[in-house]
Amino acid sequence: MKRTIFFLADHTGITVEAMGRSLLSQFDGFTYETVHWPFIDSLDKARRVAERINQTTIESEQKPIVFTTLVDPQIRDYFKQLDVPVMDFFETFTARLEEELQLPSSHALGRFHTTDNNRAYDQRIHAVNFALNNDDGAVTRNYTTADLILIGVSRVGKTPTCLFLGLQHSVLAANYPLTEDDLENDLLPNVLNSYRDKLYGLTIDPHQLQRIRQERRPDRRYSSLEQCKMEIKLAEDLYKHYTIPYLDTTSMSIEEISARLLQHINRAAKVTNE
């Protein structure tokens, strides 16, 4: 049975969904269904949501997982009393920032969305939705409007990078997985041929890739070092054959990866405009 995931927010819920889905995408084979509950700005609303969470636990006979960006301390504490795992993005980072900045948080609702540039905010929302809807090669018809199409083998970091680029920089980033069949044929998948100028490859040290895969699917051919070495070599050979720029992400944070990709996008845009 699929696990139920609750996304709770005191505003639109776009942020908590993007961050939650990004984390969940790291767990191959994990299937889930989602419940979105935005605009939880009172204890009365929180109680109604809690009833739904408890009912889900009873009906499914397993605890749902709750992701939240709730700001109000009372409402956050209310959900922490439930007998379910709660992933609190707000609390995770705010206390550390208060300590570092020597400033108290305002705990004001919707500050992330308070902006004089509504158009820029709408672009971020659109970019995050674009990343979610064009993840893992599931949909390719939107590639004509993509700013960037990341390609690479499984577990190399394509999905979280696309989401980060969308959420932080409004980049329309899609991603396409290079499967073993693609790599053994030594040919770029047909669906990508028309978008060669938008492609960017990701690679990683095979030993690190094995560690990542072992955490998800241990003791399988998919996560063997031999398989990881083979896939990485063939992927890099493909990049070189088609002159596709690529980046080794082994020792890079998602912020560093995104910064390099932004430089590439800006250079490409400059060449196009000249």
In this structure, what DSSP letter does residue 9 have?
-
So what's the pLDDT on residue 109? 56
What is the Cα–Cα distance from 40 to 49, expressed in whole angstroms? 9
What is the Cα–Cα distance from 31 to 24, expressed in whole angstroms? 9
pLDDT in tens, 120-162: 778 988 999 999 999 999 899 999 999 999 999 999 999 999 9
So what's the pLDDT on residue 67? 96
Q: Cβ(10)–Cβ(39) under 8 Å?
A: yes
Helix (H) or strand (E) holding 68: strand 65-68
- Find the largest Cα–Cα distance for the chain: 62
* Cα separation of the two ends of the chain: 55
So what's the pLDDT on residue 15? 83
Q: How far, in Å, are 7, 13, 70, 90, 273 from residue 73 at the CA level? A: 17, 17, 8, 10, 49
So what's the pLDDT on residue 274? 52
So what's the pLDDT on residue 173? 98
So what's the pLDDT on residue 29? 84
Q: Say which residue the tokens 């809807």 belong to.
A: 133
- Give pTM, 2 decimals: 0.61
Q: Per residue of the chain (274 residues), what is the pLDDT tens digit?
A: 689 999 999 888 888 988 898 889 888 888 899 999 999 999 999 999 999 999 999 999 899 999 999 989 899 999 999 999 999 988 888 777 888 888 887 666 555 545 555 777 789 889 999 999 999 998 999 999 999 999 999 999 999 999 999 988 999 999 999 999 999 988 999 999 999 999 999 999 999 999 999 988 888 899 999 999 999 999 999 999 999 999 999 989 888 999 999 999 988 776 665 5
Sign of CA dihedral 230, 159, 88, 260: positive
Question: Where does residue 191 fall: left (phi above 0), alpha (psi -120 to 50 degrees), or beta otherwise?
Answer: alpha
What domains can be seen in the chain, in order of their start residue? 3-113 (3.40.50), 118-273 (3.40.50)
